[in-house]
Amino acid sequence: MRVYSVGSRLCKTYNERATNRSWSHLQNFLVTYSSRNATAVDEFAEFEDFEEEFETGAAAAASEEDDGDSIEDVEVEVEDEEEDEEPALEDLELGHDEEEFEGWDAKEPVVGNNKEVPRLTITKVPMHLRTNWDSYFLEMLMLAGLAVYFLNFVVGRSKNQRLANAWFSAHKTLLEENFSLVGDDGSKDVDPNAGLIKESENVFTLWCSGRSCCEGMLVELKLLKRQDLVAVISQIVRPVTDQIQIRVNLTEMDSFVFCVAAKKTAQRLVKDMADISVFCPERRSLEKMGVSQVFSLMNEIGEVSAALIDRRMIDALNKYSDLIDCIHVSDQFTGQKQPQEETGTATKLPEPAKVLICTFNLPTKQRTPQEAADAARPLMQLVFYLLERVKRFRLGKEAKAKAINNRQKAQEAFLKSTHAARAEAAAARREEKRRQEKERIMAEDDPEKQRRWEEKENKRQMKKKGPRMKQLKVKAI
């Protein structure tokens, strides 16, 4: 390595100055940085001249020639004998002793040694909450959102309340003419002023009772969720209307299932309602009867539609086609279809009820609550009209037979589908009984009785496992 050789020559030249210490320093330095490659030619071009000068500098110890190993950053400026001619000496950042090294300029380790390693310990100072409000912009946003939500809650709630009250006051007289009990909250004593009951901020109910041909009437005002901002926003995306659902529990009604509904609602009902899906799943149009085409008919017995959809009904359906959502009359009403897992395990059909269910839309858009309530009043009258007609209507003989047949078939189908579940339940019951008997016998101290019982048990087992000679009769419940 040229630097090494130069260095050694220099030391020899100035041997009165070179000390062991400085020589070892130089050696260390050179060894440390010997890994870097550099083109010896370019780096040490400046030494060409000096080498000629130092002819006398004999054999260097520098036979350790690493191929072109040199320090990139090191500019070894070889000093002349006359220091004055060397321009760069002043520029050199030398170590502690200026005269220690001639022409050794290593910036990095020198720099490393000169300056202190900055040990900056940044002490963790928690930010003060009050100094810098601007940076809490997200928090302010969150709080503002909450405030808006609560504001909307209050406004929406009061609007729903006003709607419900307007509806009730508009219908009160009509209801009181028809029912002897209007408004009941189900508590022990009859409160004459019960009125509307608030189920939630958007659902109000009213129970009326005490009328001929019906047990009672439950009116549910299913208003929009104006109190929930999320619902209000989703209302913009998917508009829904305020609805009134009137359910009348009938006392006397012939056997049929009949439904007139708006097309979309009809689709949903056929899927969801147990009785419609079993007895009248096909949807038909009512255009032949002169009814607007927004409605579909689902009818079990043909003559029912002719009887119920009379002149007045047709007029009402056409006039209030945007307000009437669904009219459902059924003697086999069991609510919505249970999800599949439950039908598998259920052993008994739920009790069917005779109902008349009407679902109407409340026209609240661009109207005051009072106007909307008044617009809904004719619909209530329609309900009473229908009620009377259904009560009076009787099926013909053939129709009645057909209806009974349909119901029997439905019953059998249900029993078949749950046969497995029922058999399992029966087997479980038998097993339980036997186990209890066994426990009872075991508990008794009399060995004689135990032996006798065990013999009986064995005989029973043999009979079961043996060939079946008898024909087993399965009795359908």
Q: Minimum CB separation from another protein for residue 382, in Å? A: 6
Q: Minimum CB separation from another protein for residue 18, in Å? A: 58
Q: Minimum CB separation from another protein for residue 230, in Å? A: 6
Q: Minimum CB separation from another protein for residue 71, in Å? A: 41
Q: Minimum CB separation from another protein for residue 23, in Å? A: 55
Residues in contact with 343: Cβ distance below 8 Å, sequence separation at least 6, in sequence order: 417, 418
Three-state SS sequence of the chain: CHHHHHHHHHHHHCCCCCCHHHHHHHHHHHHHCCCCECCHHHHCCCHHHHHHHCCCCCCCCCCCCCCCECCCCCCCCCCCCCHHHCCCHHHCCCCCCCCCCCCCCCHHHHHHHHCCCCCCCCCCCCCCCCCCHHHHHHHHHHHHHHHHHHHHHHHHHHHHHHHHHHHHHHHHHHHHHHCCEECCCCCCCCCCCCCCEEEECCEEEEEEEEECCEEEEEEEEECCCCCCHHHHHHHHHCCCCEEEEEEEEECCCCCCEEEEEEHHHHHHHHHHEHHHHHHCCCCEECHHHCCCCCEEEEECCHHHHHHHCCHHHHHHHHHCCCCEEEEEEEEEECCECCCHHHHHHCCCCCCCEEEEEEEEEECCCCCCHHHHHHHHHHHHHHHHHHHHHHHHCCCCHHHHHHHHHHHHHHHHHHHHHCHHHHHHHHHHHHHHHHHHHHHHHHHCCCHHHHHHHHHHHHHHHHHHHCCCCCCCCCCCC
- Closer to another protein at the Cβ: 57 or 378? 378
Q: Minimum CB separation from another protein for residue 212, in Å? A: 5
- Closer to another protein at the Cβ: 155 or 426? 155
- Closer to another protein at the Cβ: 227 or 330? 227
- Closer to another protein at the Cβ: 57 or 216? 216
- Closer to another protein at the Cβ: 190 or 426? 190
Q: Minimum CB separation from another protein for residue 418, in Å? A: 17
Q: Minimum CB separation from another protein for residue 379, in Å? A: 9
List of residues contacting another protein (CB under 8 A) = 126-129, 135-139, 142, 145-146, 149-150, 153, 177-181, 184-186, 190, 198-201, 203, 207, 209-213, 215-216, 218, 225, 227-231, 272, 312, 315-316, 319, 335-339, 378, 381-382, 384-385, 388-389
- Closer to another protein at the Cβ: 179 or 453? 179
Q: Minimum CB separation from another protein for residue 306, in Å? A: 18
- Closer to another protein at the Cβ: 8 or 227? 227
- Closer to another protein at the Cβ: 384 or 453? 384
- Rounded CA-CA distance 94/111 in Å is 10
- Rounded CA-CA distance 410/278 in Å is 7
Q: Is the dihedral of CA 461, 463, 466, 470 positive or negative?
A: negative
Cβ(241)–Cβ(362) under 8 Å?
yes
- Closer to another protein at the Cβ: 39 or 381? 381
- Closer to another protein at the Cβ: 76 or 196? 196
Q: Minimum CB separation from another protein for residue 192, in Å? A: 12
Q: Minimum CB separation from another protein for residue 229, in Å? A: 8
The closest of 66, 13, 17, 21 to 44, measured between CA atoms, is: 66
- Closer to another protein at the Cβ: 118 or 339? 339
